[in-house]
Structure 1
Amino acid sequence: MGRFGKGVSSRDDGYASSSGSLSQGGNGQSDYLDHEIAQLTKLRSQPHEFLSRTAPGKLRLPVSTVKMLVGREVNYSGRGRFSAADSCHVLSRYLPVNGPWKVDGMNSRVYTSHFSNDGSFFVAASQESNIKIYNVDKNWKIQKDIETKALRWTITDTSLSPDQRFLVYASICAIVNIVDVGSSTRESLANVTEIHEGLDFSADGDEDEFGIFSVKFSTDGQELVAAGSDNFIYVYDLQANKCSLRIPAHKSDVNTVCFADETGHLIFSGSDDSLCKVWDRRCFISKGRANGVLMGHLEGITFIDSRRDGRYFISNGKDQTTKLWDIRKMSSNTTDTAQKYIYTGSSDNSVYIYDLVSGAQVAKLDFHNAPVRDCCWHPIYPMLISSSWDCNIVRWEIPGIGEAPLPKRRTVRARRFFGRALR
């Protein structure tokens, strides 16, 4: 799976846009990538102008971390703290390549994992019906240990609501379960306090018709968007407790889907038909027809992650490439800080980190002895969690002063695996 990261998210051998592939040779800059995404990344991670002043005619160099800290101590900004751009400028210099430290060992393959929006919680789901919610701020203590209901082979996806009260999880059936995981202060184990409610995505109540491969909350927490093995994508209205939209979206399994931005109007989807599509709920051209079709992958799409600005997203494919797309559909008013990196887990058991602008590989993390099914960058800190089919969840952080370099990897045989399970 590939994601954007805030320092910040996917592997593979290619780096491409909707207009074609980009090589990683030469000076690392192309005409395509030398555009607004590079400029926005730069602007949103610039330190306070007081610290970045230079004399006329002199080369502007990156502001050192020491100078940033000194400036904060003398309150150069007048606010007594770093701005979001200041924080991004400092943190984006550090890659989480030190470690790993083991967070937990599951009893079966870990299929999906993610941080909450504020990074205070981490959710991991394994093949044998367990979902664990860790309290990151309390030294990764297990906040919830949930045993799923009506599981069919594996949990395919999970999503935590923006207010962190509800968790949804999907399996290979038309029922998506929603669990009230309560306040962050209440701990629970194994369904003692949780009630699982089934949300039926089928048209006639036959849950055996198809399976849900991907499910995501909207930014306001009022809707879910889901991807099905019946070639449809779905929007579920949680207030009305019913599907509000069914779109015959692709010619094969829809493996991944997400909202493009906080408005919820735009939806991105990816399928085994090797196509990425863009859907605008405000102006469907006709039933089943997308507002945009993005071709470039040679095999099925396994995962999509949006930059949440209504324009950029990245896709992972079974052709072993990750592509960056610019749909050029709308402007953005997002106030997020810069997203500098793309990271991904891989079927060769490693985690890869790439520079978003140049496309260059900047780090490779080796520890696991089975495919890395999911990986997640903390929304604020330079911390990365990798979850693998070797049942391990491990944490990577920035190198400390005087610490030993990354330990050598154990000799293992890399496995190549196929099918929709790869994200």
Structure 2
Amino acid sequence: MSLLRNSNIADLLLGDINGRFRSRRRREPLDPNRFPKIPSDEGTELMNSGQFGSSEAEKLREGEMIIGKKLARRILDREIAIESTAKRELNQRLMAQGMVPSSNADMIIHYNQPVYSGQFSNDGNFFFSVNKDFRVRMYDTSNPYKWRYYKTVDYPFGQWTLTDATLSPDNRYLAYTSITPEVCLAPTDPNDKGDPYVLDLAGGQAARHANQGWRSRSFGIWSVKFSGDGRRLVAGATEGKIVVYDIESRSVLHSFDGHDSDTNAVCFADQSSPHIVYSGSDDRVIKVWDTRSMGGDREVGAFMGHIEGLTYIDSKGDGRYILSNGKDQSMKLWDLRMVMSRHEFRKMTPDVRNGNSNFDYRWSAWDDDEWYKDRNDNSLVTFRGHKVLRTLIRCHFSPPGSTNSRYVYSGSEDGKVYIWNMDATPAGVIDVQSATRNSRPRYQGFHQPGRWHQDVDDEDSSAWKTCVRDASWHPNAPVIVASAWNGYAMSTGTCTVHSWNDGAEKDEADPKMGYRVNQKLEVDPALYGATPDMGPGRMSARVRNSRLFVP
């Protein structure tokens, strides 16, 4: 099957709007109790286990005085060290998990094209944004409240958009890709101005310099990840393909059709082992692979429970728990100990494994009457409330350092970041659309008045719309960055920085909340002075007199 016939790409490139009118199979009768119980009993047990933050039971064990303390008192107790080591550690964990970022944006970074992904490095010193203009911007975030622009790298021959990027464990190299078989590998050193090198995951050709062009587009990559030792890449691609690539030898170790439809997401199980890989697909199945025995294209096991295709999977990094987002508007938590065996999985007929749905998540609205519990569901907890529509929206575990591993979170098509406790109860919502609404002029480029750029032809271009495709929680600070398609008809993009501010609606610091900058973190007068009724030459006195404004 050619690339253009692929279901994910053909509609994007050819504008197949007919998907919204396709019929969908009804399942009758509907069970009124089919939706997952909230709070989840299994999730509550996990919260009480101590693996996902500090629970009420743990607080009680440590003493009643811990429960009633306000944040300021906890900080004071920590500083003067009046309590036992165990209670000080508990205080620290409780402070961390209570600091959930708010909707108010500290900083709004504007881009002239939609943003597809944005992630912090594991140590928090680095952030990169992946854009539709085939560029990845890098930022120094060693101080998460005072960013510095670092570097931009290009993808010289992309198709439609950049789809994914991954940072090596030592932060030295960034691998990024488009809907082609090519992965660009660029050093993050700002003094290295050379073009990126290109890795051919289609096989048959070693890495080469980007200006030498590319060989084929036999398949396109949706997801790419570094292994924990930084020596390998795993990629998920069109038509169910999975590729494991050895960077040192510049060779494809494994390449095979692991799924019956597009492999939208891949990840390694943990940072210490490069062997266990997870993959998620439009065929609704998550598969577990061992790279030491991939020669026969045989999975170790499988997870089933999503009734529509997978958009993303994330590993907690402990080799046990993974998280997935699905087009059935649900996020699921999985435990490797509950995996379905290969033998049991392969006994199922294809229609039982893959279902039979014509739902097109890019154009259609989801009808909850279509939701049902798969009888083969071996997930642990199901999270609902967000919208996994339009694009391959991503989900993540919250980091241990800044959240005590208490939460899971996801972007959403309605312009928000949803945060849940492990028992599936809501823990917070970050409203990115409200925080950014009308924060830039209606023309596409800051200095190109009158030029329109609209990707979505059937939307009112006067409406400010937001779709949060990705979000990243800083590993050491209570800060979340939301990466979004954002603006009039979602034709542009933003990365917005949201921090915990103890409920404060205003900030007396300089710059104020909602500080607007361009992709290089420069104050552009058009961002402040131009409104729907004002031209680009108008600028507020505050910005004109700001020490940050350089004409």
Q: TM-score, normalised by structure 1?
A: 0.78
User: Residue 303 of structure 1 aligns with which residue?
Assistant: 312
User: Residue 203 of structure 2 aligns with which residue?
Assistant: 203
- Do structure 1's residue 72 and structure 2's residue 82 form an aligned pair? no
Provide the C-alpha distance between the structure 2 equivalents of 1:395 and 1:100, rounded to a whole number of angstroms.
6
* Partner SS for 1:71: helix
User: Residue 431 of structure 2 aligns with which residue?
Assistant: 366
Provide the C-alpha distance between the structure 2 equivalents of 1:50 and 1:395, rounded to a whole number of angstroms.
31
- Do structure 1's residue 114 and structure 2's residue 114 form an aligned pair? no
Alpha-carbon offset, residue 122 of structure 1: 0.8
Is the CA contact (8 Å cut-off) linking 1:304 and 1:313 kept in structure 2?
yes
User: Residue 230 of structure 2 aligns with which residue?
Assistant: 221
Provide the C-alpha distance between the structure 2 equivalents of 1:195 and 1:264, rounded to a whole number of angstroms.
28
Alpha-carbon offset, residue 329 of structure 1: 6.7
Alpha-carbon displacement from aligned partner over 1:175-195 (angstroms, at most 9, x marks no partner): 10100122xxxx46xxx7133
User: Residue 10 of structure 1 aligns with which residue?
Assistant: none
* Partner SS for 1:73: helix
Alignment of 1:307-322 (within 5 A): 307-322=316-331
Structure 2 counterpart of 1:238, one-letter code: I
Closer, same or farther: CA 217–108 of 1 in aligned 2, 3 Å: same
Is the CA contact (8 Å cut-off) linking 1:51 and 1:71 kept in structure 2?
no
Provide the C-alpha distance between the structure 1 equivalents of 2:237 and 2:193, rounded to a whole number of angstroms.
30
Provide the C-alpha distance between the structure 1 equivalents of 2:96 and 2:400, rounded to a whole number of angstroms.
14
**Alignment counterpart, residue 350 of structure 1, candidates 405, 416, 424:** 416
User: Residue 367 of structure 2 aligns with which residue?
Assistant: none
**Alignment counterpart, residue 251 of structure 2, candidates 239, 242, 257:** 242
Closer, same or farther: CA 126–328 of 1 in aligned 2, 3 Å: same
Structure 2 gaps, min length 5: 1-33, 206-214, 340-398, 434-464, 487-492, 508-512, 515-551
Closer, same or farther: CA 272–98 of 1 in aligned 2, 3 Å: closer
Alpha-carbon displacement from aligned partner over 1:366-406 (angstroms, at most 9, x marks no partner): 23222111111111211111111111111111124653599
Closer, same or farther: CA 50–128 of 1 in aligned 2, 3 Å: closer
* Partner SS for 1:168: strand
User: Residue 393 of structure 1 aligns with which residue?
Assistant: 495
Alpha-carbon displacement from aligned partner over 1:115-141 (angstroms, at most 9, x marks no partner): 011111110011012211111235222
Alpha-carbon offset, residue 154 of structure 1: 0.7
* Partner SS for 1:22: coil
Structure 2 counterpart of 1:176, one-letter code: V
Query: Counting helix residues as a fraction of each chain, which structure ranks higher?
Result: 2
Alpha-carbon displacement from aligned partner over 1:89-148 (angstroms, at most 9, x marks no partner): 211011101411334111101011110111111100110122111112352221112232
* Partner SS for 2:203: coil
User: Residue 102 of structure 2 aligns with which residue?
Assistant: 97
Query: Counting strand residues as a fraction of each chain, which structure ranks higher?
Result: 1
User: Residue 303 of structure 2 aligns with which residue?
Assistant: 294
User: Residue 257 of structure 1 aligns with which residue?
Assistant: 266
Alpha-carbon displacement from aligned partner over 1:11-36 (angstroms, at most 9, x marks no partner): xxxxxxxxx96322xxx241x22434
User: Residue 337 of structure 2 aligns with which residue?
Assistant: 328
Alignment of 1:404-419 (within 5 A): 404=506
**Alignment counterpart, residue 124 of structure 1, candidates 129, 132, 156:** 129
Alpha-carbon offset, residue 204 of structure 1: 4.2
Is the CA contact (8 Å cut-off) linking 2:310 and 2:325 kept in structure 1?
yes
Closer, same or farther: CA 236–328 of 1 in aligned 2, 3 Å: same
Provide the C-alpha distance between the structure 2 equivalents of 1:244 and 1:76, rounded to a whole number of angstroms.
56
Closer, same or farther: CA 37–267 of 1 in aligned 2, 3 Å: farther
Q: TM-score, normalised by structure 2?
A: 0.60
User: Residue 6 of structure 1 aligns with which residue?
Assistant: none
**RCO higher in 1 or 2 (8 Å CA, sep ≥ 6)?**
1
Higher mean C-alpha deviation, range 97-106 or range 110-119: 97-106
Provide the C-alpha distance between the structure 2 equivalents of 1:318 and 1:103, rounded to a whole number of angstroms.
28
Is the CA contact (8 Å cut-off) linking 2:78 and 2:91 kept in structure 1?
no
Alignment of 1:144-159 (within 5 A): 144-159=151-166
* Partner SS for 1:102: strand
* Partner SS for 2:472: strand
Structure 1 counterpart of 2:306, one-letter code: H
Provide the C-alpha distance between the structure 2 equivalents of 1:118 and 1:167, rounded to a whole number of angstroms.
15
* Partner SS for 1:156: strand
Closer, same or farther: CA 367–68 of 1 in aligned 2, 3 Å: closer
Provide the C-alpha distance between the structure 2 equivalents of 1:385 and 1:366, rounded to a whole number of angstroms.
12
Provide the C-alpha distance between the structure 1 equivalents of 2:69 and 2:186, rounded to a whole number of angstroms.
46
Closer, same or farther: CA 41–129 of 1 in aligned 2, 3 Å: same
Closer, same or farther: CA 175–141 of 1 in aligned 2, 3 Å: same
- Do structure 1's residue 194 and structure 2's residue 296 form an aligned pair? no
Is the CA contact (8 Å cut-off) linking 2:473 and 2:479 kept in structure 1?
yes
Higher mean C-alpha deviation, range 170-179 or range 138-147: 138-147
Provide the C-alpha distance between the structure 1 equivalents of 2:121 and 2:296, rounded to a whole number of angstroms.
34
Provide the C-alpha distance between the structure 1 equivalents of 2:476 and 2:282, rounded to a whole number of angstroms.
33
* Partner SS for 2:104: strand
Provide the C-alpha distance between the structure 2 equivalents of 1:268 and 1:70, rounded to a whole number of angstroms.
44
Alpha-carbon offset, residue 74 of structure 1: 3.0
